[in-house]
Structure 1
Amino acid sequence: MNLIADALAWIFSGDPGAGLAPIPVAFVEHLVYTFLSVLIAGAIAVPAGWAIGHTGRGRDVAVAVSGAARAVPSFGLLLLLVLLLGVLHKPEAAVITFVLLAIPSLLAGAYTGFEAIDRAVVDAGRSMGMTGGQVLRRIEIPLGLPLLIGGVRAATLQVVATVTIAAYANLGGLGQYIITGLNLRRFDMVLGGAILVAVLALVLDALFALGQRFALPHGVRASSTRSAPRARAPRPAAA
């Protein structure tokens, strides 16, 4: 309990010490790396996932690529890219590492969102004379959006947790408190940094959970509500 109290006191002290950046600055750095990486990964993975889900081709390749990307250790990849790109390009090496980490979840969320759609709905759209592009825009993307947001949610949480290793390359973020605290044996700083990362992850998870809930089209939500079984009123006992 004393360590927790010391960690909370360190968080609210306003001065992290050891020449480190203030906590608000570290928060901003952490979020910049996270959202920039997820945005770049989304620009790569989401169109590819939509193409796979729309055409039904390439799913096996996507699964293989996603599995291979998940198996690569992030810390080892970061150090390798720093060595390959040079110390002057450490931010680029970190972003590439986080992008590769985020792609599998985004790719899976994009194509599984389309695969989860009832084929009868897609066939109904085609029978009404919709072109492939209209089916994509008006049916598949809106109905597949909740699972896509779920993929963005998973990717964001993975990147938030992994951005802490950027501190090993002196790139800032909330991980700098954990790394520096371990070196200085300042366990209040280590626990405080871990608490900050956990709070940030929980807040982002809650926001994406709300977004996933409201991404479902209103008509589908209303249909699900109407089709839910209603509780029957108890019958009066016979006299």
Structure 2
Amino acid sequence: MNLPTGDLPRILLVEDDAVSRAFLAAAAEATPARVDSADSIHAAVTLGARHRYALWLVDANLPDGRGVELLARLRADDAHAAAVAHTADTTRAAADGLIGGGFSEVLVKPLPAAAVQAAIRRALGRPPGSPVSTDLAALGPKLPVWDDAAAARALAGNAAHVATLRGLFLGELPGVVDRIERAAATGDAESISAELHKLRASCGFVGAARLAAAAQALGTGPRSDALLARFREAARDTVDQAPSPSG
């Protein structure tokens, strides 16, 4: 069903990672909805002052602050919009903090498009859509470099969306790896964690299974040269074995 743009609920999506932002925007638009995107608190507040939204879909951590801080600023002008948070942090403490900060639900990335859409429908009080598909399979020791089935599940089988997001992901990846390498060289654990936090979600959306596992290992527990080397190798394989745009 194609509704006129003016009849669609308007959603403010706030996400600084380009791959995650593209994925979440595509998923939200398919609910259907009209989506405005922002990559920072500053940009989100500007849009919030300009438009009235039915839903705010907000990242927990942004370059210029935290999602709960943004929600408080948006609430000052609108007490009624629904608010859903999204994060790659899997801990209960993170979810509790976001719920305590005023979000009605917390989505943990990566997750399939159907799960995003189901959460949007719940927040807007809409009837459920199609059943939520399964997420990326549990990480194991013999993961493929690229998991096409996982990417297809995440993007509801839309091959064009998979190709587009993979191209964006591969364009961003060298910069991400370089920032992690430089942070590791200086012992900047906070920067490493922040980069890995975003990278794991992006890997899940595009099916970069082996890199996701390496990023997970590097991001949990004591870091070592061996784990960094494993991560570096996985990143190299991800680029070298990237599927062609035509599949």
Q: TM-score, normalised by structure 2?
A: 0.26
Which structure has the highest strand share of the two? Answer: 2
Task: Give the number of the structure with larger relative contact order, counting CA–CA contacts within 8 Å between residues 6 or more apart.
Answer: 1
Compute the TM-score of the two structures, normalised by the length of structure 1: 0.27
Greater fraction of residues in helix: 1
Structure showing greater Rg: 1
